[in-house]
Amino acid sequence: MVILRENIMPTPLFFGLCTEKRQNIFAAGISEFADYGYENSSTNRIVKKAGISKGSLFKYFPTKEDFYFFVLDTITAELISGLEEKINTLSPDLFQRIIEYSVLEFSWYILYPQKAKMIVRAFTKSDTDIYRKTVLKYGNREQDIFCWFLQDIDTTQFRWERQKTIDLIKWLLKGFNDDFLTRIQKQAYLDFEMLEKEYVKNLSEYIEILKAGIIK
């Protein structure tokens, strides 16, 4: 049984640190979790990069898992905030919006490749407790993002009932993203500029199939 500890925050001691030290600890976490994932990460490497003792780290975060989710929470919030700022610039056409949103998301990944790499590792399917906890923790948030993303779309050209059409597209995107993450997870180096081109090209082809239908 997976037990998820909700609302994990650093202890007050962490917030009592100077800004530079907090940033060093945070950056060390991103680097470690991006390069090794959670399962293979080492608190010894984290504290060495951060320039603190292991005892100090656990005064700020009771467990490695608490630290991991603090870092992941922070960078996913940064990503969502960056996307929210530009959501009003997206096309009201559903399929065009999907492509434009993908380009926006990849533009953030290109700017922050280590943060992006950690996100890729965190959300790639795996048979681990930490992945199951991640799904439990972020599952509802994923639904919220999808609902937010679909605000004000033009549904006048939908041939079928609105909700069923949206559900179909949601399942397509979920499956497409899961498959994409699984494939790129195996790559030693993630070039997000090249990945953006591959992602948008393949997604556009699936969208054209969906728009045209699969029956001649």
Rounded CA-CA distance 76/122 in Å is: 11
Three-class SS of 17-44: CCHHHHHHHHHHHHHHHHHHCCCCCCHH
Report the predicted TM-score, pTM, of the whole model to 2 decimal places: 0.81
Number of residues in the chain = 216
Place of tokens 């001649």: 216
- Among residues 112, 37, 28, 20, the alpha carbon closest in space to that of 75 is found at 112
| Pairwise pLDDT comparison (212 vs 49), residue with the higher score | 49
DSSP one-letter code for 4: -
How many CB atoms within 10 Å of residue 115?
21
Q: What is the pLDDT of residue 65?
A: 95
Rounded CA-CA distance 191/171 in Å is: 27
Domain 88-212 = CATH 1.10.357: yes
Q: Dihedral, CA atoms, 151, 157, 107, 180, nearest 10 degrees?
A: 100
Rounded to the nearest integer, the mean pLDDT of the chain is 84
Rounded CA-CA distance 179/175 in Å is: 6
Q: What is the pLDDT of residue 64?
A: 95
Rounded CA-CA distance 27/32 in Å is: 9
Number of H helices, E strands in the chain: 10, 0
Rounded CA-CA distance 76/168 in Å is: 25
Domain ranges (residues) in the chain: 88-212
Are the C-beta atoms of 123 and 179 separated by less than 8 Å?
A: no
> Using one digit for the tens of pLDDT, what is the confidence trace for 5-39?
455 578 999 999 999 999 999 999 999 999 999 99
| Pairwise pLDDT comparison (198 vs 157), residue with the higher score | 198
Q: What is the pLDDT of residue 2?
A: 37
Residue 177, Cα to own-chain centre: how many angstroms?
11
pLDDT > 50? residue 1: no
> Using one digit for the tens of pLDDT, what is the confidence trace for 129-147?
999 999 888 876 666 666 6
DSSP one-letter code for 125: -
Q: What is the pLDDT of residue 4?
A: 42
